[in-house]
Copies of this chain bind each other. A is one copy, B any other.
Amino acid sequence: MPLLVTGSIGVDTVETPAGRRDNVIGGSAVYFSYAASFFAPVRLVGVVGEDAPRELFNVFEHRDVDTGGLEVRKGSKTFRWHGSYLKDLNEAESVQTDLNVLAERAPKIPDNFRDSRYVFLANTHPVLQQEMLCCLKEPRLIVADTMNLWINTARADLVKLLGMIHGLVLNDGEARLLTEKKNLIEAARDVLKMGPKFVVIKKGEHGCLMVSERGTFVLPAYPADKVVDPTGAGDSFAGGMMGYLATQGNFSPATIKRALAFGTVVASYTISDFSLAGLQKTDRDAIDERWHHYKQAMDF
């Protein structure tokens, strides 16, 4: 079942204790698409400027990612982000953010993408996220990500979006900011009252938490002894999760749990190297093997 994603596509400069990389490929929709494509066909919707580097178009060669929704906008510049993890490997410090084309109008969803049943709205303004939904014929599972910026500056729009989606994925700090609850279980329950059927709270190196009406599920992160670059971990997690769900055709608690575990495992590859290099070095067999190892590492 094809999986539609819309979100940022960009060029990153990243500093971590392991080194620095200038002008590498990044963006939430890029990490998400690569990660999800280990599981299901992906339809990517996004926009770059005419300065977009060639590598950005090559990255999905040989991947099951339809880039028919990737707009190269003339006269515009590609989104750029410069982040540093030198102070805290668990949280990026933005050195510079140039929204560029992301501050303009949203990209269009191609007509042949409108029948997508599985949809992930990566982080962007909640009004744009809502607009995307209007173009879809009969979505079966809509999951969104968000961030502090929109919680602070567009709360009403975000709350409206929450009434239109099935699942919300956000990190612990964002969940606390959105609900003003310190305890994450309480925070998750407050999010459920706003509309979503389930909420996934990402805790970085501490794993994740999923809360739905049917219960609570907790997962530690994959025990990694080498974290090179955490950029894209959350998007890769969401990609692995949604990619697996798109292959299953049901949303039972057991299916969602397995999906979260796949998300966790895929993210463990992302953080093992800079940019997409960690994901590019793995394949579905290796992911399945690590998934079983991870399952076993928790089983008691």
A residues near B (Cβ < 8 Å) are: 17, 89, 182-183, 185-186, 189, 203, 206-207, 209, 215-221, 223-227, 254, 257-258, 260-261, 295, 297-300
Query: Which 5 pairs across A and B sit closest by C-beta, in order of nearness?
Result: A257-B300, A218-B220, A206-B206, A185-B225, A216-B223
When distances are taken between beta carbons in the complex, the residues of chain B under 8 Å from A189 are 225
Q: Report 12 cross-chain contacts, Cβ distance below 8 Å, ordered by A residue.
A: A17-B182, A183-B224, A185-B223, A185-B225, A189-B225, A215-B297, A216-B297, A217-B297, A217-B300, A257-B299, A295-B300, A298-B298
When distances are taken between beta carbons in the complex, the residues of chain B under 8 Å from A185 are 223-225
When distances are taken between beta carbons in the complex, the residues of chain B under 8 Å from A257 are 299-300
When distances are taken between beta carbons in the complex, the residues of chain B under 8 Å from A297 are 215-218
Scoring A183, A254, A260, A261 by chain B CB atoms within 10 A of each residue's CB, the highest score goes to: A183
Interface residue from B183, B225, B226, B254 paired with A225 (Cβ < 8 Å):
B183
Q: Report copies per complex.
A: 2
Contact A186 B218 (CB under 8 A): no
When distances are taken between beta carbons in the complex, the residues of chain B under 8 Å from A182 are 17, 89
CB distance from A273 to the nearest CB of B (A): 15
Residue of B nearest to A221 (CB): B218
When distances are taken between beta carbons in the complex, the residues of chain B under 8 Å from A223 are 185, 209, 216, 218
A224 to B183, CA, bound (A): 8
A89-B182, A218-B298, A257-B299 known; 8 new pairs, CB 8 Å cut-off, are A183-B227, A185-B223, A185-B225, A207-B220, A216-B297, A217-B297, A219-B300, A254-B300
When distances are taken between beta carbons in the complex, the residues of chain B under 8 Å from A260 are 300
Contact A217 B298 (CB under 8 A): yes
CB distance from A228 to the nearest CB of B (A): 11
When distances are taken between beta carbons in the complex, the residues of chain B under 8 Å from A220 are 206-207, 209, 218-220
CB distance from A268 to the nearest CB of B (A): 12
Residue of B nearest to A181 (CB): B225
Contact A226 B299 (CB under 8 A): no
Residue of B nearest to A226 (CB): B183
A225 to B300, CA, bound (A): 24
Contact B209 A207 (CB under 8 A): no
